[in-house]
Amino acid sequence: MLESEPKNEEETQSERITGIMRVVGVDPQKEKQVLENIKDKHFDRQDIPLFQRVEREKTQEELKIIEKILSVMPKFIKEYGGKPVDVRLENIHIIDPDKLTEQERKIIGSSRGKYHSDIQAMSVICSPDDNLLNFAHIISHELIHFNAFQSVNVDENGDIISSRVEGVMVGSSGNSNEKHFYFNGLNEAITEKLAMKFNNEYFPAFPELSDAIKERDRFASSLKNHKKIKSFTNRKVGDIWYATAEGYSYAPERREFKKLIREIQHKNPDKFESDADVFKIFAKAYFTGERLNIARLIEKTLGRGSFRSIGEKSEKLSEPNKD
């Protein structure tokens, strides 16, 4: 069940040692032990069987891009009150699409990246010659998931059973095999919006991305909705040129989120001067666990039961995408 009014679950520890920040239903001493175990067993050990057959070496350009993103991401996270995770190159796994089986491709679908909270790793599916702007965007999106506020349910041995909270997404309580995840759509909209803001602020300073940005901007300048173009690739195969433009992900979810933000701002002009002011409230809740603040804001603006309604509207079963 989705609680009507959530409790704030802010981080209280002085140091964040993994993506997981809180453990549900245990005392502080047990929580510390569980988090240290997650660090030793998963975060620090990245020889993961899941990736061994399909993983490839990072190219030199990819390494430089990842290192630059890792160097500036903590500053970005702190701007919204978050506590950054010390993610390392080893926590980021690049999957070669040519090594995937047909069945694995069907399961993955259109997903290009994923944050795996249970093994404290993230994976990105791309070929060495893929568009670097797309690659950098996926890295930043998944790193933002990695840095979101996160709490988990564990068994009697302290092993992770499932996610409870990740960003503003909430997993149902109880021991049912069918797990419900609420606010998944809103969570992805916030993640992608944060990634877009991060990219606009930092990517222009990356020399490795300058050519890709120029090529995209030349193409986008002729379009009405140019801000929605993430990347543009013009590639020759044999005697034929192939041009591909790619937009940002989760467009329907982002449209709904934009409508929600605008309505909140419109009905609370004394509290919020702009949509950006409203977005900061959601972004802070995403990184700190202060979901009670957005619940009360939504209920005040849209009426009793509206917070729960939004959560159920974007409900997903089983593990969330987090991609």
Could you please report the per-residue DSSP string of 234-275? EEEETTEEEEEEEE-S-HHHHHHHHHHHHHHHHH-TTT-SSH
Residue 277 belongs to a domain: no
Task: Give the per-residue pLDDT at 110.
Answer: 75
Task: Give the per-residue pLDDT at 38.
Answer: 95
Residue 229 belongs to a domain: yes
What residues make up the domain containing 51? Answer: 22-250+312-317
Count how many domains the chain has: 1
Residue 56 belongs to a domain: yes
pTM to 2 decimal places: 0.91
Residue 299 belongs to a domain: no
What is the rounded CA–CA span in Å between residue 322 and residue 192?
Answer: 11
* Beta-strand pair 180-182/160-166: unpaired
Task: Give the per-residue pLDDT at 13.
Answer: 47
Q: Over the range 119-154, which residues count as b (16 or more CB within 10 Å of their CB) and which as e?
A: bbbbbbbbeeebbbbbbbbbbbbbbbbbbbbbbbbb
Residue 54 belongs to a domain: yes
What is the rounded CA–CA span in Å between residue 159 and residue 209?
Answer: 40
3-class DSSP assignment, residue 283: helix
First to last CA, the chain: 24
Residue 10 belongs to a domain: no
Residue 199 belongs to a domain: yes
Residues of the chain falling short of pLDDT 50: 12-13
Residue 31 belongs to a domain: yes
